Structure 1
Amino acid sequence: MSAISKLRDFFKFLGSVKGDLSNITAPPYFLAPHSVTEIGTCWVERPSLFAAPALEPDAELRALLVLKWILASLKRQLYIDGGLGQGIKKPLNAFLGEIFRAEWSDGKATANLVAEQVSHHPPITAVYMWDDEHGIRGEGYARVEMTFSGSVDIRQTGHAMLHIDRYDEDHLIFLPSCKVSGFMSGALFPELSGTYHIVSSSGFVSEIVFSGTSLLGTGQRNAVKATLYRRNDPSKAPLYVIAGCWSDRLTIFKGSTTKGEVVEVWDPARPENGASEARVEPLESQDCWESRKAWQGVIAALRRGDFGDTVTEKSKVEKAQRLMRAAEKEEGTTWQPLLFAPLSGPYEVFERLGSAVGWRLQADKTKGVWKVDRGEVKTLRRPFRPGLTPLGRETTETAKG
């Protein structure tokens, strides 16, 4: 199929959809061969970068390292199955109960991540990441809403929280919303705009301002400028500035301007800054609720460019999931996630940190504040849900699969 035909069909698809696109199936040639549950891997695929704040004794520099880590993760988070000049694709809509887990190692640090789809209507994904050796862990959750108004607008409601054991320190982290543009060229690309914050319990705040090119073509695509300042400083005098392109190079300056001392130039193209490969169990060893096992037919079809089989394989899972939801409604039962649960009571850490920048919880939009049960993560064993598969109740035939 030609790029023009794909573009025409995609516009036709967008024009036929009203409201939230998050649970709508895009044409198969716009799909990435992995699920929404894998998006959080951008945070841990560079294990040393993830662990770095835990190894820094100075609180100011720890806050700077957290900021650097988050900015460095954005390219892989937003350029889904693509890159600069290549366009991006839409990940597969995760089904309720879907789990992804993996490990990354670069010889200096090892990081782990587990994600679970805790809600389907609305779609909410919860993530937990950790490095036990260095005593650092993070968790977060997001409700993703997608609408179309000339561009695809992707809004994330939720947050992430990073904790460093050695210093009993927390960092409240934003989840960016973005626009997907480039429909006229057929090569879709993400754009970030607006101001976000990272707030540290040690007394530092990072303010991140995203910008891009204007309608007249001025400005720089994917531009970012971030400043780190003390929370109790009413003037917000920058201690450090990070500027550049969040999908390319970032320069860290000491002081209040981009003319100060250059501390570091972070370039993702350098070999030492490359991402590590995710280590996952072989498909034959995975549980049927694990993402790559459950979607293996779809992933294989996408990779060989067989869009007919893609639709067929996707439909098997989607139809079975609709039947499961209907059965639950009829039986009066409620789905229970395995690894995450809504927090009961106030979330004091969030309230304390969020108040620094006027950040308020929106738990009413995310079915609560989702917190990981670390004990359940450590004891999770196959089969995850005995007798039940994403395709329905287990039979002799499904058990063989």
Structure 2
Amino acid sequence: MASKDQKGFFASIASSISNFGSAMHKSVNGLLGYEGLEVINPEGGTEDAEEEAQRGRWKQEERDGYWKMMQKYIGSDVTSMVTLPVIIFEPMTMLQKMAELMEYSSLLDHADECEDPYMRLVYASSWAISVYFAYQRTWKPFNPILGETYEMVNHGGITFLAEQVSHHPPMSAGHAENEHFTYDVTSKLKTKFLGNSVDVYPVGRTRVSLKKAGVILDLVPPPTKVNNLIFGRTWVDSPGEMIMTNLTTGDKAVLYFQPCGWFGAGRYEVDGYVYNSEEEPKILMTGKWNESMSYQPCDLEGEPLPSTELKEVWRVADVPENDKFQYTYFAHRINSFDTAPKNLLASDSRLRPDRYALEMGDLSKSGSEKSSLEDRQRAEKRKREANGDKFTPKWFNVAGEVTQTPWGELEIYEYNGKYTEHRAAVENSSSTVEVDVKSIDFNPWQYDSLCA
């Protein structure tokens, strides 16, 4: 497996940017022979361009071959048109990454319990920022198979479910709930491949309903830029605005993710305000998305109020040292069966043989299993088209609503409640025999009898 010094390549995708400001860079066009490519060191280190250019998980000849293959895609959306080798993957799927947003869900509990409407947005927007620490990982998660699911329980009283509801374009839907909030998301990614980098646009909708407070919050994250895909050390930046709006009252939090500047200046920094419905600043917020966030009441000019102090609202939890995939402790729990419910659905991401083989360090088996799953998925598509069938998700319905996002239109999927009924039946049935999850074959398929 890759060493710690080799941990850049593709990007785990999630929500953040479209340009990266004035990052410190060194051109290695002459060295590499690829016009227009640059290798960037966001930390502004002392390594020369040649040493930086030789970084990455692949040998030089492998990178050369990959670059020749990818040249034709420059300027294109490569969300689902390119088959990628497992050497750049982490043993987790995009559905599991959606669940990582639940790590600091206690902030939403605090938001629901909070009487102050502006502090409610402080807690909720800090929750939305908290996941960016995990999103800076530079390994690519597996694309879910159509019909694949991911379930999570045993965390803060939350039941979480995600399902892959479309393959072209790739779309996922998720629902989470506890006594304080419900969380609903329709996720669709749009990308633009630029050669040695890729812009990722989160064409999605995220809604949080706070039960006690009786309000609905809407989240619009910034886009993301993944730098040094092929040459150099891969890194992720997220400049741009994150906006969380209280749709019930009109209050909103507007937070700006600073771009990475010279020698890494400004990287990770987040600053902004909570505004009332008249767009007057009420609370200033500041911090770093990889460290902590703090807040302080302010006047109409945005200046801190006298006799008030800056208070911390969120801080990243301790993480394992020298972890192979840069996972947090929570990410390890997501990948384990500790957070799985009784009688796990056979379509669950944890059961994917390619994901499990990669987790065990067997790249050869992971690659062959991934190819087998993709072949089966294509065979299902051919049979659906031949039969005139249409794929229908089990746990989410098409809402019939198309919403506008900053990056395009989005068809909304709504949680249909059937999973809640299914899970209650499983839990209440005395005749149900609990199955050893390791004996369950991964099965998201529409046609069980179809062979790859």
The secondary structure found in structure 2 opposite 1:20 is coil
For 1:119 and 1:12, locate their aligned partners in 2 and report how far apart those are by CA, in whole Å: 30
Residue 126 of structure 2 corresponds to: 68
For 2:125 and 2:185, locate their aligned partners in 1 and report how far apart those are by CA, in whole Å: 16
The secondary structure found in structure 2 opposite 1:39 is helix
Query: Does residue 313 in structure 1 map to residue 382 in structure 2?
Result: no
The secondary structure found in structure 2 opposite 1:14 is helix
Query: Does residue 147 in structure 1 map to residue 167 in structure 2?
Result: no
Residue 142 of structure 1 and its aligned partner are, at CA, apart by 1.4
Query: Does residue 165 in structure 1 map to residue 215 in structure 2?
Result: no
Residue 69 of structure 1 and its aligned partner are, at CA, apart by 0.9
Which of 276, 279, 284 is equivalent to 1:241? 284
For 2:117 and 2:153, locate their aligned partners in 1 and report how far apart those are by CA, in whole Å: 28
Structure 1 segments of 4+ aligned residues over 3 angstroms from their partners: 1-4, 6-14, 182-187, 257-260, 273-283, 344-347, 360-366, 375-378, 380-383, 388-398
Residue 27 of structure 1 corresponds to: 85
Residue 127 of structure 1 corresponds to: 174
Cα–Cα, structure 1 residues 265 and 61, in superposed 2: closer, same or farther, change >3 Å? closer
Cα–Cα, structure 1 residues 227 and 362, in superposed 2: closer, same or farther, change >3 Å? closer
Residue 394 of structure 1 corresponds to: 448
- List runs of 5+ in structure 1 lacking aligned partners: 83-87, 348-359
Cα–Cα, structure 1 residues 275 and 258, in superposed 2: closer, same or farther, change >3 Å? farther
RMSD value, Cα: 3.2
Residue 384 of structure 2 corresponds to: 328
Taking structure 1 as the reference length, the TM-score comes to 0.80
Map of 1:167-246 to 2, 5 A cutoff? 167-183=213-229, 186-200=232-246, 201-214=248-261, 216-217=262-263, 219-233=265-279, 236=280, 238-246=281-289
- List runs of 5+ in structure 2 lacking aligned partners: 3-55, 320-327, 427-434, 436-441
Residue 257 of structure 1 and its aligned partner are, at CA, apart by 4.2
Residue 226 of structure 1 and its aligned partner are, at CA, apart by 2.4
Residue 357 of structure 1 corresponds to: none
The secondary structure found in structure 2 opposite 1:221 is coil
Residue 396 of structure 1 and its aligned partner are, at CA, apart by 12
For 2:419 and 2:356, locate their aligned partners in 1 and report how far apart those are by CA, in whole Å: 31
Query: Does residue 281 in structure 1 map to residue 340 in structure 2?
Result: yes
Cα–Cα, structure 1 residues 121 and 204, in superposed 2: closer, same or farther, change >3 Å? same
Residue 298 of structure 1 and its aligned partner are, at CA, apart by 1.0
Taking structure 2 as the reference length, the TM-score comes to 0.71
Cα–Cα, structure 1 residues 202 and 155, in superposed 2: closer, same or farther, change >3 Å? same
Residue 217 of structure 1 and its aligned partner are, at CA, apart by 3.4
The secondary structure found in structure 2 opposite 1:26 is coil
Cα–Cα, structure 1 residues 34 and 13, in superposed 2: closer, same or farther, change >3 Å? farther
Cα–Cα, structure 1 residues 246 and 331, in superposed 2: closer, same or farther, change >3 Å? same
Residue 373 of structure 1 corresponds to: 416
**For 1:232-275, what per-residue CA distance to the aligned partner results, in whole angstroms no more than 9, with x for missing partners?**
23xx3x2222222212232323223479621216321459x974
For 1:362 and 1:4, locate their aligned partners in 2 and report how far apart those are by CA, in whole Å: 36
Residue 378 of structure 1 and its aligned partner are, at CA, apart by 3.2
The answer to whether the 8 Å contact 2:402/2:412 transfers is no
Tell me which amino acid in the other structure corresponds to 1:311: G
- Greater mean deviation of Cα atoms: 338-347 or 188-197: 338-347
Residue 333 of structure 1 and its aligned partner are, at CA, apart by 0.8
For 1:222 and 1:12, locate their aligned partners in 2 and report how far apart those are by CA, in whole Å: 33
Query: Does residue 337 in structure 1 map to residue 393 in structure 2?
Result: yes
The answer to whether the 8 Å contact 1:147/1:153 transfers is yes
The answer to whether the 8 Å contact 2:160/2:175 transfers is yes
Residue 281 of structure 1 and its aligned partner are, at CA, apart by 3.3
Map of 1:30-41 to 2, 5 A cutoff? 30-41=88-99
The answer to whether the 8 Å contact 1:44/1:104 transfers is no
For 1:258 and 1:75, locate their aligned partners in 2 and report how far apart those are by CA, in whole Å: 27
For 2:405 and 2:85, locate their aligned partners in 1 and report how far apart those are by CA, in whole Å: 34
For 1:186 and 1:218, locate their aligned partners in 2 and report how far apart those are by CA, in whole Å: 16
For 1:69 and 1:312, locate their aligned partners in 2 and report how far apart those are by CA, in whole Å: 38
Tell me which amino acid in the other structure corresponds to 1:308: S
- Greater mean deviation of Cα atoms: 7-16 or 303-312: 7-16
The answer to whether the 8 Å contact 1:140/1:159 transfers is yes
Cα–Cα, structure 1 residues 346 and 36, in superposed 2: closer, same or farther, change >3 Å? closer
Tell me which amino acid in the other structure corresponds to 1:126: A
Residue 141 of structure 2 corresponds to: 91
The secondary structure found in structure 1 opposite 2:203 is strand
The secondary structure found in structure 1 opposite 2:120 is helix
Asked which structure has the greater CA Rg, the reply is 2
Residue 183 of structure 2 corresponds to: 138
Cα–Cα, structure 1 residues 26 and 190, in superposed 2: closer, same or farther, change >3 Å? same
Query: Does residue 14 in structure 1 map to residue 60 in structure 2?
Result: no
For 2:444 and 2:186, locate their aligned partners in 1 and report how far apart those are by CA, in whole Å: 22
The answer to whether the 8 Å contact 2:396/2:414 transfers is yes
For 1:104 and 1:242, locate their aligned partners in 2 and report how far apart those are by CA, in whole Å: 31
The answer to whether the 8 Å contact 1:321/1:390 transfers is no
